Each structure stands twice: as structure tokens, then as C-alpha cells.
Amino acid sequence: MIQLSELVLASHNAGKLKELQAMLGAAVKVRSIGEFSAVEPEETGLSFIENAILKARHAARVSGLPALADDSGLAVDFLGGAPGIYSARYADGRGDAANNAKLLEVLNDVPDAQRGAQFVCCLALVRHAEDPLPIICEGLWYGHILHAARGEHGFGYDPLFWVAERDCSSAELAPTEKNQLSHRARAMALLKQRLGLA
């Protein structure tokens, strides 16, 4: 079991830092990659796992600390897993609203029964930049893609992601409830088990 008191998160996103710090608790201090470098590594992997490992190794290299990276996105069954690793830049980097509009357009005539999807979160933890045995934890959150956006919470594809067990979209969930159900929460629960923090 890896003993950690401090790690660097391979993200400049303050919200993600706060969320992961809350999930890990006081036993592990989470620092931002922004303290060490403004450079983002090129995500050249073809999968969530490959990109998470690339980002974790980069963060460990520039910080000298163990590093945790998260690669997440939406995989739509009808689209063969797209937008997948390109979820954040699906509409050529024009933001969440453009991504959602493009997804609705692509799925315009697709019936409900074929609109299955899952949010994917892959976490990669490395003890150092050349760690031959990264810890990989994956979380999946199954749902369906709606025909129109619903809800005001969340970000990304949340307004289009129907959560059947709650009878609402992800963007209609309270943030605390989303953080118990989400793909990231599921991946973090596995990581905490692996680190003996659960």
C-alpha cells in the first residue's frame, strides 16, 4: 500500500482541486500543478487511461511529488464511444454550450432506446515520473442523452445526461448528490480503497 501525505493534482482547475481534496480528506494534502508549471502536456493518448497517465507523469516530473491525474469525458453508445477523450473540445474548443449543441444535432433522429451513454473518469496515480506501476481507478456513470437540456447545476454535458435512478438530469441534481453518484466519485472511492483511506 502506498503511504501518501502530499500529492500534486495534474490540473489547473481550482474546482477540481477543491473537490478532490474534500474526497481525499485531511490525511493527504493536494497541491495544484499550477504551483510548479503553467505548461499543459499534450494529450496524445487514444484512451482516458493513456491520457491520465501522461498527465500524471508530467505533473510528477515538474513537481518532484507523487501525482494524481484525472481524464474524464462522455462516451455515447450510438457514436461508438464518441466524443470520448475529445469531450471537452468536441465542438472545436468553443465551450460547453457548443459541445452540447453539436451532440444534440448529431443525435437528432436517434430514438431513446439508442441514446445510452456513460460518463467516464479515469484516475492515474504515480509515485514518481517513471513509476512502472501506476494506480489506475476507473468510474463509470450510466445514463441516457436527452433531446433537450435540463437543469442549472453542474457543467459540461450534465444538462443532457439523464440519471434514471433519480428521474432527472445530472444538472438537476444538487452538487452534493452528484458528488456521491458521479463517475469521479466512483473512481475516487476505488482510489481511497487502494490507498487505505476508505
Among all residues, which ones are annotated catalytic? Answer: 71
- The closest alpha carbon to 33, from 13, 49, 53, 50, belongs to 13
Grid cell at residue 75: 462516451
The residues pairing with 139 across neighbouring beta strands, listed in sequence order, are 121
> Which of helix, strand or coil describes residue 110?
coil
Give the separation between CA 130 and CA 13, rounded to whole angstroms: 25
Give the separation between CA 15 and CA 33, rounded to whole angstroms: 13
Sheet architecture: strand order including 6-9: 29-32, 6-9, 67-76, 116-126, 135-145, 161-163, 168-169
* First-to-last C-alpha distance (Å) of the chain: 13
**DSSP structure class, residue 198:** -
